[in-house]
Amino acid sequence: MIVQMFEIISEDADSSARVGKLYTEHGIVETPAFMPVATKGTVKTLTSTELHDMGTQAIITNAFHLHMRPGTDVIQEAGGLHKFMGWDKCIFTDSGGFQLIRKDFSLKSREKGLEIKSPVNGDTHLITPENCMKIQETLGSDVAMALDDCPEFGATRQKVEDSSRKTIDWAKMCKEAHDSEKQMLFGIIQGGVFYDLRKRSTESLTALDFDGYGIGGLSIGEPKEMMHGVLEYSVPLVPVEKPRYLMGVGSPADLLRSISFGIDIFDSAFPTRNARHKTAWTKKGSFSIDKLKFSKAFTPIEEDCKCYTCQHYTVAYIHHLFKESELLGMRLLSIHNLHLVQELMKNARKAIENNEFSEFRKMYAKDVW
């Protein structure tokens, strides 16, 4: 049984940034923390050992995808998701509400839940708050996310209000249905870019006393300043003693700014998706590694980087791999980009503890990110 769930260790003097510890069944997650996305039980192209070696403390998977294939029964027989994946640290499972805004998904929001057409066999499934909780409990993740309705950016106020209402109603049902003492349950705050709807959603969910709170429905196409404005307004509404999880944000500049608002946990496929699309990240910005000028760049991606890629390979070699469509190129660049983000989190924690966070943020100039 989890006794103490979240502890604030240190707070920055010049912002709302803080260092904390999230206590889970599979170890302590030091925050601020970044979770690579392992939608189908894998961070694309990478092994659990590689994730471990770069300092990853937690990952997030998608409960619906795993329920469809290989199936919760298979994962249960394997001894749970951790054993199935060969990952012994914290796992979050998302409920699937984000898929509403994915154009490649056949998913509809109903009053009782999300109606999803299986990408495996075409069958239609209704994911209700109750079976959403059952699926996540069976998977055995450390943190389950309540079922939510995520409206796309640009949706009418009426649609966002209706979405927020459903999310609140489903959150209550998830709270009642959740029956695992080993698994935490986080609610997800919605409300689009409407401040009053964000306030209503936050107040309704915090009244239910979840173990933590996801802030959803952002970084889905809205202008950056709009996202930052919503965050700056919304985060203080979440009780200070609860972990705050901003869903879907992954660029260095956005991570650091969000940390300054008081966000503790992040997830995003952005670093690995960029890597698979030939974009390398550095402290000074990003660059496309397949450009001709890098064909004879016999240096690491970043000179002072300690990642496996930079310790063993040059930009020229990785450039060659992409030109030849070799999968190793994607792997090596994914290792580097994720390592950079994990180092960013580790150094941000140190900076907050030393009251140097404002200076630390300046290392990642806004104009290059």
Q: What is the DSSP letter of 37?
A: B
Cα–Cα distance for residue pair 309/299, rounded to 1 Å: 11
Residues 183-237 have pLDDT tens digits of: 999 999 999 999 999 999 999 999 999 999 999 999 999 999 999 999 999 999 9
Location of structure tokens 């994946």: 85
User: What digits encode the pLDDT tens for the residues 83-117?
Assistant: 999 999 999 999 876 655 455 556 788 999 988 87
The confidence band for 140, taking pLDDT boundaries of 50, 70 and 90, is very high
Residue 75 · residue 81 · CB < 8 Å: yes
Give the mean pLDDT of the chain.
Answer: 94
Measured distance CA(337)–CA(344) in Å, rounded: 11
Alpha carbons 262 and 243: distance in angstroms, whole number: 9
- State the catalytic residue, choosing from 12, 148, 254, 267: 267
pTM assigned to the model: 0.96
Whether 94 is a known active-site residue: answer: yes
* 29 bridge partner residues: 22
Strands 58-62 and 184-189: unpaired
Question: Would you list the domain boundaries of the chain?
Answer: 6-268, 277-360
pLDDT at 364: 73
Annotated active-site residue in 94, 142, 149, 290 = 94
Q: Tell me whether residue 179 is one of the annotated catalytic residues.
A: no
Q: pLDDT per residue over 145-189, tens digit each?
A: 999 999 999 999 999 999 999 999 999 999 999 999 999 999 999
Can you give the pLDDT at residue 85?
97
CA–CA separation, 247 and 98 (whole Å): 10
pLDDT in tens, 309-329: 999 999 999 999 999 999 999
| Assigned fold of 6-268 | TIM Barrel (3.20.20)
